[in-house]
């Protein structure tokens, strides 16, 4: 086997190179940058400080952080409520129908969310389709101001992120052992009890996976508030973008990103614990 040892080394080496340098090292650099200082002359300099983290929780940033969390949290909740029954319907559909349903779901999952956000702009703008339609039908008498409001941002976020909630839920519901539901029914449990005591606990890993895939992008997809929202809809993503590209305060931007990364870490741990050692990664792709 010695003669092709080089192949093994090449495969392992290139794997380590890509993941070691472009993710591990890059993330360690972000951690480092978040505890460094910045001034006019230097992008980053020593000695280390925790001031960036303290500042991240100062009133100005905290307001944006909380608002961002509230908007993203509400978006995640809406997605969950909309996605759960939908994932169930796909999982219960007959095979041919299910394949078409999945394909139609995967297209918005993979195609550009920028283009879809832009499509939403032309739909809801003051002289857009929705307003024109409602005016013509006489349902409203004045065009609604939808674009550049928080409602528009919410519509845009749910529109873009709903598939990211449906897919992990579907993966979990599909694996659900229906015999458990039947057993519960035979033992006299009603629908609500079955849902509360069996279906929801068993699909909890999918719920958490979906929440991770929706909550984090909802806080960070800066072009959605930028295209659809007003000046007041600044989210965490817009703040990080601002720190890096306009204010040139990299340490502050890195610190805010670290807070976000920490949140992701906590959610991933929760997901791992809920999966009880099963291959928990399957939920994400």
Partner 1 sequence: MKPSGPETEKTGIAASIYTYAVYLFFYIPILILIVYSFNDATYSVTWKGFTLDWYRVLFQDTNLWIAALHSLILAISASMAAAFFGTLAAISLFRYQFFGKKLVHGLVFILIVTPDIVTGIALLLLFSLFHLPLGFWSLLLAHISFCLPFVVVTVYARMSGLDKNIFEAARDLGARDLTIFGKIIIPLLMPAIIAGWLLSFTLSLDDVMISYFVSGPGFEILPLKIYALARLGVKPELNALCTIIFVITMSFVVIAQRLQRKQP
Find the binding residues for partner 1 in span 129-188 (CB under 8 A): 129, 132, 159, 162-163, 178, 181-182
Q: Which of 58, 60, 94, 103 binds partner 1 (CB under 8 A)?
A: 103
Q: Which of residues 70-89 bind partner 1 (CB under 8 A)?
A: 82, 85-86, 89
Q: Which of 227, 230, 270, 274 binds partner 1 (CB under 8 A)?
A: 227
Applying CB under 8 A, does 217 fall inside the site for partner 1? Answer: yes
Applying CB under 8 A, does 190 fall inside the site for partner 1? Answer: no
| b (16+ CB within 10 A) / e for 54-93 | ebbeeeebeebbebbbebbeebbebbbeebbebbbebbee
> Least distance (Å) from partner 1 to the CB of residue 245?
8
Q: How far is CA 221 from CA 181, 225, 226, 266, in A?
A: 39, 8, 9, 20
First CA to last CA distance, the chain: 35
Residue with tokens 């990103």: 257
Applying CB under 8 A, does 266 fall inside the site for partner 1? Answer: no
Applying CB under 8 A, does 247 fall inside the site for partner 1? Answer: no
Applying CB under 8 A, does 242 fall inside the site for partner 1? Answer: no
Candidates 50-58, 63-71, 197-205, 208-216; binding stretch for partner 1 (CB under 8 A):
208-216
> Least distance (Å) from partner 1 to the CB of residue 238?
10
Applying CB under 8 A, does 128 fall inside the site for partner 1? Answer: yes
Distance CA 222, CA 237 (A): 5
Three-state DSSP state, 37: strand
Which residues, at least 6 apart from 30, have a Cβ–Cβ distance to it below 8 Å? 254, 257, 258, 261
Applying CB under 8 A, does 264 fall inside the site for partner 1? Answer: yes
Applying CB under 8 A, does 55 fall inside the site for partner 1? Answer: no
Which CB atom, from 59 or from 211, has the smaller least distance to partner 1?
211
Q: How far is CA 143 from CA 129, 135, 138, 148, in A?
A: 11, 7, 11, 14
Q: Which of 115, 139, 192, 231 binds partner 1 (CB under 8 A)?
A: 115
Q: Which of 213, 214, 234, 255 binds partner 1 (CB under 8 A)?
A: 213
Applying CB under 8 A, does 205 fall inside the site for partner 1? Answer: no
Applying CB under 8 A, does 99 fall inside the site for partner 1? Answer: yes
Binding mask 12-31 for partner 1 (x = CB under 8 A): x-xxx-xxxxxxxxxx-xx-
Q: Which of 127, 196, 232, 248 binds partner 1 (CB under 8 A)?
A: 127
Angle at which helices 150-175 and 59-92 pack, to 10 degrees?
Answer: 40
Distance CA 209, CA 280 (A): 9
Of the candidates 134, 86, 138, the residue with the CA atom closest to the CA atom of residue 108 = 86
DSSP string, 70-89: HHHHHHHHHHHHHHHHHHHH
Applying CB under 8 A, does 198 fall inside the site for partner 1? Answer: no
Applying CB under 8 A, does 118 fall inside the site for partner 1? Answer: yes
Q: Which two tokens stand for residue 173?
A: 């519901």
Distance CA 191, CA 197 (A): 10
Q: Which of 137, 139, 187, 285 binds partner 1 (CB under 8 A)?
A: 285
């Amino acid at each position: 086997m010695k003669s092709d040892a080089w192949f093994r080394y090449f495969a392992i080496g290139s794997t380590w190179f890509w993941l070691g340098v472009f993710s591990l090292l890059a993330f360690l650099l972000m951690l480092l940058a978040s505890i460094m200082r910045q001034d006019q002359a230097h992008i980053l300099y020593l000695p280390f400080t925790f001031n960036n983290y303290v500042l991240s929780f100062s009133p100005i940033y905290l307001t944006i952080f909380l608002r961002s969390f509230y908007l993203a949290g509400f978006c995640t909740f809406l997605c969950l409520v909309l996605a759960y029954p939908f994932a169930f319907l796909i999982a219960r559909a007959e095979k041919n129908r299910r394949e078409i349903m999945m394909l139609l779901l995967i297209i918005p999952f993979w195609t550009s969310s920028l283009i879809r956000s832009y499509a939403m702009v032309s739909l809801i703008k003051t002289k857009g389709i929705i307003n024109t339609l409602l005016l013509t039908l006489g349902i409203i008498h004045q065009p609604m101001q939808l674009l550049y409001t928080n409602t528009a941002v919410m519509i845009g976020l749910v529109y873009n992120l709903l598939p990211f909630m449906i897919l992990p839920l579907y993966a979990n519901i599909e694996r659900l052992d229906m015999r458990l539901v039947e057993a519960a029914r035979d033992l006299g449990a009603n629908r609500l009890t079955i849902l509360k005591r069996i279906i929801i606990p068993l699909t909890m890993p999918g719920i958490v996976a979906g929440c991770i895939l929706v909550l984090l992008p909802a806080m960070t997809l800066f072009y959605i508030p930028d295209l659809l929202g007003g000046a007041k809809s600044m989210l965490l993503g817009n703040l990080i973008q601002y720190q890096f590209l306009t204010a040139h305060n990299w340490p502050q931007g890195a610190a805010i990103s670290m807070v976000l990364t920490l949140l992701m870490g906590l959610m991933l741990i929760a997901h791992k614990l809920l999966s009880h050692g099963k291959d928990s990664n399957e939920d994400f792709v």
